[in-house]
Structure 1
Amino acid sequence: MPMDNLWEKTAVSPPATKILASAQSTYDLVVIGAGFSGCSAAITARDLGASVAVFEAKTVGYGGSGRNVGLVNAGLWTPPDEIEATIGKREGTHLYECLSAAPDQVFSLIDRLNIECQARRNGTLHCAHATSGLSDLKNRMKQLRARGAPVELLDAHATSHRVGSERFKGALFDPRAGTIQPLSYVRGLAKEAMKAGADLFENAPVHHVKKTSSGWMVSVGDQVVFAKALLLATNAYLHGLTGLPAPQFTKVGYFQAATRPLEPTWQRSILQNKEGCWDTALVMSSFRMDGEGRLVIGGVGSLESLGRGAHLAWAQRKLALLFPQLAKEQLQEAWSGVICMTGDHIPKIQEIGAKGYALFGYSGRGIGPGTVFGATAAKALLTGDRQDLPVVPTKAHREHLTGLKQVYYEAGATLTHLTAARGP
């Protein structure tokens, strides 16, 4: 199976970015990384009348944004009670409210900017893989409904009808959520930022930054630009940058594999409403239908590791287990990316100096949080008003044994995929 990113094949055309020689000498805001957060920040900066440059080491959406599953979720996958227990009632409530409204912000941006990204706001289904998973969903529903969320718990029969599979004990339906083609979305954001006057540079890795008395000195190739404010928005894809303490987090691989476009009869019987889905298993998996009717299955694990064969074999078995009618369908393409995870699974805004933030730790929920964190961080850096930030910025964030944790997650996923999805 070739290592081809389906989103690259089906995305809208990439933006026509600038060449580095055209960069100004000074900007109000410099953003490092052209993913969801970086492009959202650039749009907000231009809305505020600020000059902004975005420097991307590869291409727009190259990292997690262009490898995302494409689920626009409300909130985090950590239940709200746990969030409040970790960061406090007031801060936890504020974070929950900000990210509960994230799908509204994403889909309103898509509508307002006419971004072509196969957007469907038909909700998501969090599927119970076992009785224990159903118990977890009942607890989540109780917490979410207590906060006014319009979620609904489906029984096994209703879930089977919605999903087209009899493998689940139930599902939590969230109508606030939806799906998009993630690379098309981030390319659309980038195009809008440039249309509004932002300077965006691809293949322009920032290799060094330095704090100055008036802001930041940013070295890109053999060129230096100055910025009054700096936003580091690379998430898990931070490489080769000196001059700053690197944000601490654990990298977790996540891969996806896709069928060919399915026959119309199968498209009508599988995910009739085209909800995006993920399950309650410890080693989580996801599945959804793309805009052309391909079934996309994903799971924890990296295709750039020794576990590649185990991961892909599991995906093929999982396809047949969930949807026996597709048992002879061969997965056509596969790709993987890296999730940035913190120990408490809560996203971070780290202060990296006066008028400098680093954003990271979306734990696999990059679309909604990335859009919200990027926009609010740009506003806070440019205006000094921090009240809209989803979390309180931290001076430093410490993680321990990140390398060992990374090996642990990959090994656990590989061992699970060697034995899982082998029938009843």
Structure 2
Amino acid sequence: MAAERTLPNLWHATAPAAPETKPLATDITVDVAVIGGGFTGLSAALHLAEKGVSVAIAEAKMIGFGGSGRNVGLVNAGMWTKPEDLIATLGTQVGTRLLAELGDGPSLVYQLVEKHAIACEAVRNGTLHLAVGPDGLKDIRDRERQWKTFGAPVEVVDADRTRSLTGAQGFSGALLDRRAGTIQPLAYARGLARAALASGAQIYTETALQSAERRGDLWKLGVPGGTITAKSVIVATEAYGDLLRKTPWKAHTQELTILPYFQFATNPLSDNIARTILQERQGCWDTGLVMTSFRMDQQNRLIFGSVGRLDALAEGTHRAFAERSLRKLFPVLGDFRFEYWWDGRIGMTTNNLPQMHVMAPNVFSVSGYNGRGIAPGTVFGRALANHVTGEPNALPLVETPLTPDPWRTLKSAFYHAGAQAKHFIDRRF
């Protein structure tokens, strides 16, 4: 993996401290080894430990290093794909079940937050999918119709109500999804880690998987300081699977197109201004061709994001676009500055749905959250924990063959360059 720039990440600055962990420095044996310390891996480890199953996480960097410490923090219900399209792709039985489990995904997240007293700025007042123009309004109305078929508490609100809820100018309406909400994502990940440790799980950070060897019915996993022997393995690295180095299990990353996503966070806004923006603290994203998002944190910082990577060449373009956008959306803002900025990776699949693979005997992986990592990661972590312990029909997805996308590198480059070009010209007039 190419070296990443160290950027001032708001979530790292404001999350409670991570529980103390160390690299693995010996040989251990457990029932289940989990590779990756993000939402999926931590949820799997927590649910396994609560069942009394011995489990160890091997995390190449630190808890929440990948998407779990970089995303927007929207706890969305379902997937980006519309319900009817999801069912058309997966079939009625699998599709209906997946819609139900992921529709209830935010409930699982907030239940874990409450059960384990996770301090993560949790707010559950819904999210707003903002319509850009007539086509955007048509899109969210179609989403409302489809979700209501499944009994979801969603509603389209008109332009005036959208302006009142957000304080933002220029949207034709919004789809309010009352199942959803926001959290401080890294704080949530660290809270899951603390709960997993308290339940008996082992977590080793700075412990990169370097080898995997099948010995009889067991796997022997090599890391720099020792080995992990386990009957089952859960690979939970998603878009950061290239950290698996030379092991064959990084292959699932080859089916993911990497969509880069950046965020800028302002200084804390004054109480007078903050009262006019997102009064109910919904998280927002729009229907634009190149999506943008915004939300507030507990300290009244306004956080704006869009597609793009903050490399040395592109950062200035994206920063200027973020500033122009906030001034146009919120004329009341006045003077502000960006205190934090960071980026991350979204793993996109060709059908915009997650994929479940059996990568080798007793080696399981789910990836491809397509920008919906928090609730689906938590749900699939629990499902994988149930599956490896023998619970029948535990997984809401059927196994699919690993199918690398030959165009992934080209598509990833296109997203990066295309977003930079669009942001160079957008909202200048």
| Same fold at TM > 0.5 | yes
Matched, 1:207 2:210: yes
SS of residue paired to 1:404: helix
* Aligned residues of 2:235 and 2:249 also touching (Cα < 8 A): no
Letter aligned with residue 412 of structure 2? Q
Q: Residue 108 of structure 2 is aligned with which of 105, 110, 115?
A: 105
Letter aligned with residue 372 of structure 1? V
Matched, 1:36 2:39: yes
* Matching residue of 2:9: 5
Q: Residue 300 of structure 1 is aligned with which of 287, 297, 307?
A: 307
Q: Residue 311 of structure 1 is aligned with which of 305, 318, 335?
A: 318
* Aligned residues of 2:23 and 2:204 also touching (Cα < 8 A): yes
* Aligned residues of 1:278 and 1:284 also touching (Cα < 8 A): yes
* Aligned residues of 1:319 and 1:327 also touching (Cα < 8 A): no
**Aligned equivalents of 1:268 and 1:167: distance in 2?**
19
What's the CA shift for 1:400? 2.5
Q: Residue 272 of structure 1 is aligned with which of 275, 279, 283?
A: 279
**Aligned equivalents of 1:241 and 1:8: distance in 2?**
29
* Matching residue of 1:226: 229
Deviates more, 1:299-308 or 1:96-105: 299-308
SS of residue paired to 1:236: helix
**Aligned equivalents of 2:116 and 2:229: distance in 1?**
30
* Matching residue of 2:358: 351
**Aligned equivalents of 2:407 and 2:312: distance in 1?**
19
Q: Residue 390 of structure 1 is aligned with which of 385, 392, 396?
A: 396
Deviates more, 1:394-403 or 1:332-341: 394-403
Q: Residue 399 of structure 1 is aligned with which of 397, 405, 410?
A: 405
What's the CA shift for 1:305? 5.9
What's the CA shift for 1:379? 1.4
**Aligned equivalents of 2:114 and 2:246: distance in 1?**
36
* Matching residue of 1:246: 251
CA deviation map 1:329-357 (0-9, x unaligned): 12221100111110111011111112111
Q: 4+ residue stretches of structure 1 with deviation over 3 A?
A: none
What's the CA shift for 1:291? 0.9
CA deviation map 1:218-256 (0-9, x unaligned): 010141221100011011112214133610211110000
**Aligned equivalents of 2:183 and 2:101: distance in 1?**
20
SS of residue paired to 1:230: strand
* Aligned residues of 2:154 and 2:175 also touching (Cα < 8 A): yes
CA deviation map 1:360-417 (0-9, x unaligned): 100111100000011111210122x351312112232332211001011111111110
CA deviation map 1:174-218 (0-9, x unaligned): 111000000000000001101111110111111111233212110
* Aligned residues of 2:140 and 2:174 also touching (Cα < 8 A): yes
Q: How does 1:176-191 map to 2 (within 5 A)?
A: 176-191=179-194
What residue ranges of structure 1 are gaps of 5+ in the alignment?
none
* Aligned residues of 1:256 and 1:298 also touching (Cα < 8 A): yes
* Matching residue of 2:295: 288
* Matching residue of 2:19: 15
SS of residue paired to 2:212: strand
**Aligned equivalents of 1:277 and 1:241: distance in 2?**
39
**Aligned equivalents of 1:146 and 1:305: distance in 2?**
47
* Matching residue of 2:418: 412
CA deviation map 1:152-178 (0-9, x unaligned): 100001101111022100000011100
**Aligned equivalents of 2:90 and 2:393: distance in 1?**
17
Q: How does 1:337-376 map to 2 (within 5 A)?
A: 337-376=344-383
Letter aligned with residue 333 of structure 1? Y
**Aligned equivalents of 2:217 and 2:52: distance in 1?**
20
* Matching residue of 1:50: 53
* Matching residue of 1:379: 386
TM-score norm. by structure 1 comes to 0.96
* Aligned residues of 1:350 and 1:397 also touching (Cα < 8 A): no
SS of residue paired to 1:269: coil
**Aligned equivalents of 2:402 and 2:312: distance in 1?**
31
What's the CA shift for 1:99? 0.3
Matched, 1:167 2:173: no
For residues 245 and 253 of structure 1, do their structure 2 counterparts lie closer, same or farther at Cα, with a shift above 3 Å needed?
closer
SS of residue paired to 1:61: coil
Matched, 1:259 2:266: yes
* Aligned residues of 1:46 and 1:198 also touching (Cα < 8 A): yes
For the aligned residue pairs, the C-alpha RMSD in angstroms reads 1.3
* Aligned residues of 2:153 and 2:177 also touching (Cα < 8 A): yes
What's the CA shift for 1:110? 0.3
**Aligned equivalents of 2:190 and 2:200: distance in 1?**
15
CA deviation map 1:267-311 (0-9, x unaligned): 111001000000001211100000111000000111026322211
**Aligned equivalents of 1:395 and 1:209: distance in 2?**
20
SS of residue paired to 2:389: helix
**Aligned equivalents of 2:312 and 2:353: distance in 1?**
26
TM-score norm. by structure 2 comes to 0.95
* Aligned residues of 1:18 and 1:199 also touching (Cα < 8 A): no
For residues 29 and 399 of structure 1, do their structure 2 counterparts lie closer, same or farther at Cα, with a shift above 3 Å needed?
same
Percent of counterpart pairs with the same letter? 44
Letter aligned with residue 152 of structure 2? A
